[in-house]
């Protein structure tokens, strides 16, 4: 890879990571939720007047809309390219935050944060990763995907303290307006740096780990992109297995992320935002580490280990959050590792999509698979908040999530043996031709 090409690829990675650093505001919802809850408790003119059981609803709807809109955003990305797609994302996120800055109404926040911000995140997110992956060879897929999506996980490191500061300085409404303007400008500018390689471009650096001396040109010549259409993917049993695994991994993580500030309140007080920020560090690190590990040890094996570790953390969390004297250090470490394991999903599943179904329809294919993330986040975050209101604790939610993660770890063994070869067989059974 010559210096000019390498620098262009790095620039696209940087822009994609920067866009995700803005769109990762989703993971700071627990800070906003705390401000809304405080407003409800204080009452008075202009205060929020919501049912406490509905406090997670805008976040849950945002997750669901984000996931469902990924299919449309992926199609736009495939047909019009990453620049247009990312710019639409920045515009929608900006409009969503402007909308919620003008209202305390429940349905206003469902529309503004849930629908507009959720849709905007989908457009920006769907543009960043495909553009970066196309500049690099397949043996770096996990690493590149991990770096780009790490921005989404790392966002709370700066957004959580910034949000806490702006809420104290200006109040919730004005803080939301500031975020809207900032995100629109940032994503809009970075979108112009997202470019794809010219037609016929073939990235250098193909490496066969079994034969490091394998000729690079011969290696590239042997590589065949799957180019499976959405219909071919949907008719594959492997797709539905991966969809179920994504539902479990994402749902368990989002359940914790949406409520971590509330859980940390008793131990950290007004510094509860630190748990959100530190969780974000784990979230980002998990994406990079898991991406690199999966390039070397395989996606399925990496996912199995992470699911088992996440299950152990969920069970450990039960005793921590049930104690009135929980150590702040233990809580922060727990949040960090849960964030690490959750973040790994966001590197592994796009890499699996590219490995199994190729680049030609990557945007649409990953958008369809990403519905698992949205449904998992919606179902598990909504259910956990209802359970908390009814029982006064998140313990039952964590136990259920831990059991699901163990089941998910067991299911990964069905992916462990040559998934790409099995994918080819499954597509051939449908009577379809690859690339249709």
Q: Give the list of residues 6+ apart from residue 410 with CB closer than 8 angstroms, or none.
A: none
Q: Does 209 map to a domain?
A: no
Q: Does 96 map to a domain?
A: yes
First to last CA, the chain: 31
Q: What is the pLDDT of residues 357-411, one digit of tens each?
A: 887 788 888 889 989 988 888 888 778 778 777 777 777 888 888 899 999 999 9
| 59 — pLDDT class (breaks 50, 70, 90) | confident
Q: What value does the mean pLDDT take over residues 222-242?
A: 79
pTM over 0.85: no
Q: Does 214 map to a domain?
A: no
Instruction: Report the share of the chain in percent with pLDDT over 90.
Output: 30
Q: Does 151 map to a domain?
A: yes
Whether residue 336 contacts residue 153, with contact meaning beta carbons closer than 8 Å, is answered with no
CATH code of residue 30: 1.20.1250.20
Q: What is the pLDDT of residues 95-123, one digit of tens each?
A: 999 999 999 999 999 999 999 999 999 99
Q: What is the 3-state secondary structure (H, E, C) of the chain?
A: CCHHHHHHHHHHHHHHHHHHHHHHHHHHHHHHHHHHHHHHHHCCCCCCCCCHHHCCHHHHHHHHHHHHHHHHHHHHHHHHCHHHHHHHHHHHHHHHHHHHCCCCCHHHHHHHHHHHHHHHHHHHHHHHHHHHHCCCCHHHHHHHHHHHHHHHHHCHHHHHHHHHHHHHHHCHHHHHHHHHHHHHHHHHHHHCCCCCCCCCCCCCCCCCCCCCCCCHHHHHHHCCCCCCCHHHHHCCHHHHHHHHHHHHHHHHHHHHHCCHHHHHHHHHHHHCHHHHHHHHHHHHHHHHHHHHHHHHHCHHHHHHHHHHHHHHHHHHHHHHHHCCCCCHHHHHHHHHHHHHHHHHHHHHHHHHHHHHHCCCCHHHHHHHHCHHHHHHHHHHHHHHHHHHHHHCCCHHHHHHHHHHHHHHHHHHHHCCCCHHHHHHHHHHHCCCCCCC
Residue-range definition of the domain harbouring residue 44: 3-196+222-427
Q: Does 313 map to a domain?
A: yes
**Exposed, middle or buried: residue 392 (CB in 10 Å: 0-12, 13-18, 19+)?**
exposed
Q: Does 120 map to a domain?
A: yes
Distance CA 96, CA 90 (A): 10
Number of domains into which the chain is organized: 1
Whether residue 238 contacts residue 415, with contact meaning beta carbons closer than 8 Å, is answered with yes
Q: Does 204 map to a domain?
A: no
Q: Does 202 map to a domain?
A: no
- Planar angle of CA 293, 282, 159, nearest 5 degrees: 135
Identify the top-confidence range among 212-226, 231-245, 280-294, 422-436: 231-245
């Amino acid at each position: 890879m010559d210096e000019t090409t390498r620098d262009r690829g790095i620039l696209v990675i940087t822009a994609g990571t920067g866009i995700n650093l803005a769109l990762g505001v989703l993971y700071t919802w627990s800070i906003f939720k705390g401000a809304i809850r405080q407003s409800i408790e204080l009452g008075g003119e202009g205060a929020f007047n919501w049912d406490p059981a509905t406090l997670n609803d805008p976040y849950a709807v945002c997750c669901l809309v984000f996931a469902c809109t990924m299919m449309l955003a992926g199609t736009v990305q495939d047909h019009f390219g990453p620049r247009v797609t990312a710019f639409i994302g920045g515009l929608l996120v900006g409009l969503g935050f402007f909308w919620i800055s003008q209202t305390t109404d429940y349905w206003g926040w469902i529309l503004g944060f849930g629908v507009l911000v959720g849709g905007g995140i989908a457009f920006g997110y769907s543009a960043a990763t495909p553009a970066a992956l196309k500049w690099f060879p397949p043996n770096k897929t996990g690493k590149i995907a991990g770096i780009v999506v790490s921005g989404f996980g790392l966002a709370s490191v700066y957004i959580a303290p910034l949000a806490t500061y702006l809420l104290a300085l200006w109040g919730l409404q004005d803080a939301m307006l500031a975020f809207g303007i900032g995100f629109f400008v940032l994503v809009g500018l970075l979108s112009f740096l997202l470019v794809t390689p010219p037609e016929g471009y073939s990235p250098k650096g193909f490496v066969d780990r079994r034969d490091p001396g394998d000729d690079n040109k011969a290696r590239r010549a042997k590589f065949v992109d799957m180019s499976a259409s959405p219909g071919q993917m949907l008719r594959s049993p492997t797709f539905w297995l991966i969809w179920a695994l994504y539902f479990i991994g994402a749902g368990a993580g989002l359940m914790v992320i949406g409520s971590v500030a509330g859980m940390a309140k008793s131990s950290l007080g007004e510094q509860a935002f630190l748990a959100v920020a530190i969780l974000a560090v784990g979230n980002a690190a998990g994406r990079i580490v898991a991406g690199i590990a999966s390039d070397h040890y395989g996606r399925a094996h990496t996912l199995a280990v992470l699911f088992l570790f996440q299950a152990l953390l969920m069970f450990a969390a039960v005793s921590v959050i049930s104690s009135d004297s929980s150590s702040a250090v233990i809580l922060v470490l727990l949040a960090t590792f849960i964030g690490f394991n959750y973040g790994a999903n966001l590197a592994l599943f796009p890499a699996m999509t590219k490995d199994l179904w190729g680049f030609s329809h990557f945007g649409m294919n990953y958008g369809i698979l990403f519905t698992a993330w949205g449904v998992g986040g919606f179902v598990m975050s909504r259910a956990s908040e209802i359970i908390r209101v009814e029982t006064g604790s998140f313990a039952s939610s964590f136990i259920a999530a831990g059991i699901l993660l163990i089941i998910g770890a067991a299911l990964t063994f069905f992916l462990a043996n040559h998934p790409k070869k099995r994918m080819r067989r499954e597509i051939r059974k449908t009577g379809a031709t690859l690339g249709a």
